[in-house]
Amino acid sequence: MSDSSQLAPGIDADELRDWIQQQRWYASKSRSVAGIEVVERVALRERPEPLLLALVQTRFATGTHELYQLLLGRETFDALEDPRYALELLRRLDLCDEIDAAEGRFTFHRLDGVVTPPEDSDARPMGVEQSNSSIVFDERLALKVFRKLEPGVNPELEMLRFLTARQFANIAPLRGWYDYDGQALATTLGVAQQFLPDAIGGWELALEQTVSHPDSLLDRLGSLGAVTAQLHTVLASDASDPAFAPEEPSQEALSLLTATIDEDIERIFVRLPDDPRLEPIIGRGQDVRERLAARAQAGVGGRVIRTHGDYHLGQTLYTPRGWVIIDFEGEPARPLPERRQKRSPLRDVASMLRSFAYVTSAVEIQLGLEAPPEFEQRARERFLEHYLDEIDVTLLPGGEAQVANLLSIFELEKAIYELRYELDHRPDWISIPVAGIRRLLEGE
């Protein structure tokens, strides 16, 4: 256990350890922290009160550890609870500042558009977040502070830099970022983006309009398909950049994917509870496995590229100028190298198709209403039609049957993941992945 002298005045290390374990962004909720160590810290300011930027390592009894970013104030474990403190981070971005620390350097990078608001500006948290903390300044800039840190460039920064440099219109452009480069670790700490005050969340829009304006929503989901295709085409546009250059897929990669799904099937189907809503898939683990193996034999085709990695309606915004795609971190629970892997663009497509199943059911679960007949199917068809019209066809397998085959593999992967999640966290929603698995079993 590090002693409290390593922290800000008035901060107790034992209390900090207990506090970290209670935060939404603490990743290992089933494990207790055995010790706390401040591995790096710098003073962002001394007056009118001290403000420290700290990298804090939590250690576990197993010998493993995790690294978190904290902004420590006087007698507070997290100065970001008062979003005005984040103004100091924004000011450093504006100055393109560099701060030497004991083991490395904190560097702040600015692109066009970062102008620090005045001290009395409006600063507010951007709602409830699981993994990070985002602050909105004067409804024009948003700063996302990454909490759990891993070595390497965060995919959010990597993707936003690439897309902003190519002036891709359907993102909130990158305005700056800050990082740490030390002897034992280099990592991304946060990103600043343009904030879009006139946007509505894609999930909220769909939940609202599925019943009230279904035809209008279908038109918008069609345009989302086109925007998704444009995103994938831009991400595949630079063969000179090794991190983004399209590659030929390997059969080994598909075999690894199917083996992983197979393991999930084995774990999940063995422990299915006695629930009538699970009846369509109880005892059908082998059926799912055989259907997956048969589809995998058809091969891959197309090319693999950098993709969004966690694509669903909740990762989109709708604005007067059309769709905006957000949150390019990938699935936070997966290791950073895995989130940076190149994959078929159809994996993003399959994930969005599953999102249509969710919103159609959520209309009933959350609002007590009934979606129009065949709405999910019509949404799928509209999205796919516009996506396939717009995408660079060299990225996809040749022929409709091969595209449908690969889509079904990725949808099955997603539905199995959903089933595990709903069984553990949201049992009222288990009928949604069950219906998806059943459809994939009974489809051609």
Q: What percent of the chain has pLDDT over 70?
A: 96
pLDDT tens for 307-323 read 999 999 999 999 999 99
Could you tell me the two tokens for 162?
A: 């690439």
Phi then psi dihedrals of residue 300, to 5 deg: -105, -80
Is the pLDDT at 340 greater than 80? The verdict is yes
Could you tell me the two tokens for 319?
A: 């604005």
The residue with greater pLDDT, 270 or 156, is 156
pLDDT tens for 344-360 read 999 999 999 999 999 99
Q: How far is CA 252 from the centre of its chain?
A: 26
193-205 mean pLDDT: 96
Q: Rounded mean pLDDT of the chain?
A: 90
How high is the pLDDT of residue 9?
Answer: 59
Give residue 149's region: left, alpha or beta (phi > 0; psi -120 to 50). Answer: beta
Instruction: List the one residue out of 315, 328, 323 whose CA is nearest residue 203.
Output: 315
- pTM, full prediction: 0.92
Angle (CA) 312-129-371 rounded to 5° is 40
Instruction: List the one residue out of 249, 241, 107, 233 whose CA is nearest residue 176.
Output: 107
Domain ranges for the chain: 4-194, 200-442
For residues 383 and 355, give the distance between their C-alpha atoms in angstroms, rounded to a whole number.
12
HEC letters along the chain: CCCHHHCCCCCCHHHHHHHHCCCCCCCCCCCCCCEEEEEEEEEEECCCCCEEEEEEEEECCCCCEEEEEEEEECCECCHHHCHHHHHHHHHHHHHCCEEECCCEEEEEEECCCCCCCCCCCCEEECCCCCCEEEEEECCCEEEEEECEECCECCHHHHHHHHHHHCCCCCECCEEEEEEEEECCCEEEEEEEEECCCCCEEHHHHHHHHHHHCHHHHHHHHHHHHHHHHHHHHHHCCCCCCCCCCCECCCHHHHHHHHHHHHHHHHHHHHCCCCCHHHCCCCCCHHHHHHHHHHHHCCCCCCCEECCCCCCCHHHEEEECCEEEECCCCCCCCCCHHHHCCCECCHHHHHHHHHHHHHHHHHHHHHHCCCCCCCHHHHHHHHHHHHHHHHCCHHHCCCCHHHHHHHHHHHHHHHHHHHHHHHHHHCHHHCHHHHHHHHHHHHCC
Q: What is the CA radius of gyration of the chain?
A: 23
For residues 423 and 235, give the distance between their C-alpha atoms in angstroms, rounded to a whole number.
35
396 contacts: CB under 8 Å, gap ≥ 6: 301, 302, 344, 345, 346, 388, 402, 403
Instruction: List the one residue out of 231, 284, 212 whose CA is nearest residue 392.
Output: 231
The residue with greater pLDDT, 372 or 1, is 372
pLDDT tens for 276-335 read 999 999 988 888 888 888 777 766 689 999 999 999 999 999 999 999 999 999 988 788
How high is the pLDDT of residue 299?
Answer: 64
For residues 305 and 320, give the distance between their C-alpha atoms in angstroms, rounded to a whole number.
30
Give residue 30's region: left, alpha or beta (phi > 0; psi -120 to 50). Answer: alpha
For residues 404 and 397, give the distance between their C-alpha atoms in angstroms, rounded to a whole number.
9
Could you tell me the two tokens for 160?
A: 């936003």
Phi then psi dihedrals of residue 142, to 5 deg: -125, 130
Angle (CA) 427-312-179 rounded to 5° is 110
Judge contact between 208 and 128, C-beta under 8 A: no
For residues 124 and 134, give the distance between their C-alpha atoms in angstroms, rounded to a whole number.
9
Peptide bond into 151 cis (omega under 30): no
Q: Please, which pLDDT band fits residue 6 given cuts at 50, 70 and 90?
A: low
How high is the pLDDT of residue 1?
Answer: 37
65-78 mean pLDDT: 88
Q: Choose the CATH number for 200-442 among 1.10.10.10, 3.30.360.10, 3.90.1300.10, 3.90.1200.10.
A: 3.90.1200.10
pLDDT tens for 351-395 read 999 999 999 999 999 999 999 999 999 999 999 999 999 999 999
